[in-house]
Amino acid sequence: MLKDKKVVVGISGGIAAYKVCEVISRLFKAGAEVRVVLTDSAQRFITPLTVATLSRHAAYTDEDFWDSHQPRPVHIDLGEWSDLILLAPLTANTLAKVSLGLADTLLTNIILASNCPVLAVPAMNTDMWQQLSVQSNWRKLQKDERYHILSPNSGLLACDRRGKGRMSEPTEIIEAIESLIHSRGQEDLRNTKILISAGGTREHIDAVRFIGNPSSGKMGLAIAKAAAYRGAEITLVHAPIEARLLEDLPEMERFPVVSSAEMERSLLDQADQFDWIIMCAAVGDVRSKILHNNKLSKADLPESIELETIPDIAAQLGHKKRADQKLIGFAAQTGEITAPALAKLQRKNLDAIAANSIDLPDSGFGSETNQLVFIDKEGRQATIPMAPKLAIAHHLLDFIKQL
């Protein structure tokens, strides 16, 4: 997603500047061209040599701004060159300058001389962040459509305080950059309400044993992230998912469930409120007829378990959906995937389905990458080759938009 993309990284003077080194390194490894601009105060935390080594290009400082040997003003060159500008860490001082349109440094001049999306990633002490003046500047920045934000996280800060002010983690920043590059900074899903299911349900036999599947929930979370970055209003209904995977989700309403019955109630109760429903969860097909509330001893385990079929949630949604709703399903298959997926689409009255092979390397359950075939109810198909799940998610959203 980042190959040959041009990213300007603007670093201000805060202790979180050290985290940006990992972001620069990841951008370069992903194939992006990176130009780093350091404010004077940023150089008290990391050196131009450090970021130049990581980006494979000389760093820019305010000294370059006043260099009379440049054939063109450097802020004009970099402003016109960039596909995206990252401001991280965005300190209270730089936030104030940017929100007011001031231009007294190389970095602030580059911003004003550019038209590309700007990703603002603040970091500062909790008391500083909560000041009325800082919050006023932050709200002002959010009203400008050029600026896209990653609000600070909460936790232990470098000043030994606990509270809001921690800079977003490198993984979250990279995902936001990838999404903004893909959408060219356009919130093309603004005012679209999307209901997404994710993860694998668990059908308990007793207090500790259950019938389940290997779904990690990563594909559903990728779709939720991609849609949120593009301005959609997201509600996520998810079966058990590792806590670490949920930590860097953008702000959205979440409903954790365990069993298919809980997921069925949550989805059916809310479905009418949404424009799109994307059924990415791996919902169980069968469950034990008898549920033991306590843990059975090994000696008490039955020799056989009587099973019953679980109602098909996607089919229920398909037969009650409004004409203006879009219902998207997923089909995890082995072997030939297109024909079974098309049959599911027609049987469940879906608008489209995403079919993926779970028996191919680096695809399907638990993997970081995937490859899908999208099919709509008119029979049109789009094949997405192996890619990170966030990239797959953006292509899926593009496909749904065209339905």
Known catalytic residues are: 159
Q: DSSP labels for 79-112?
A: HHH-SEEEEEEE-HHHHHHHHHT---SHHHHHHH
Q: How far apart are CA 223 and CA 197, in angstroms?
A: 10
- Burial tier of 193 (Cβ tally within 10 Å: 0-12, 13-18, 19+): middle
DSSP letter for each residue of 228-272: HHTT-EEEEEE-S--HHHHTTPPS-EEEE--SHHHHHHHHHHHGG
Cis ω for the linkage preceding 89 (within 30 of 0): yes
Phi, psi of 67 (to 5 degrees): -75, 115
Q: Do the Cβ atoms of 141 and 120 come closer than 8 Å?
A: yes
- How far is the C-alpha of 53 from the C-alpha of 186, rounded, in Å? 32
DSSP letter for each residue of 15-41: TTHHHHHHHHHHHHHTT-EEEEEE-TT
**Cα–Cα distance for residue pair 185/119, rounded to 1 Å:** 9
Closest CA to 90 of 186, 184, 19, 175: 19
Number of other CB atoms surrounding residue 151 within 10 Å: 15
Nearest to 269 by CA among 224, 327, 320: 320
- Rounded to whole angstroms, how far apart are CA atoms 192 and 180? 18
| Cα torsion 57, 63, 66, 68: sign | negative
Distance of CA 337 to the CA centre of its chain: 27
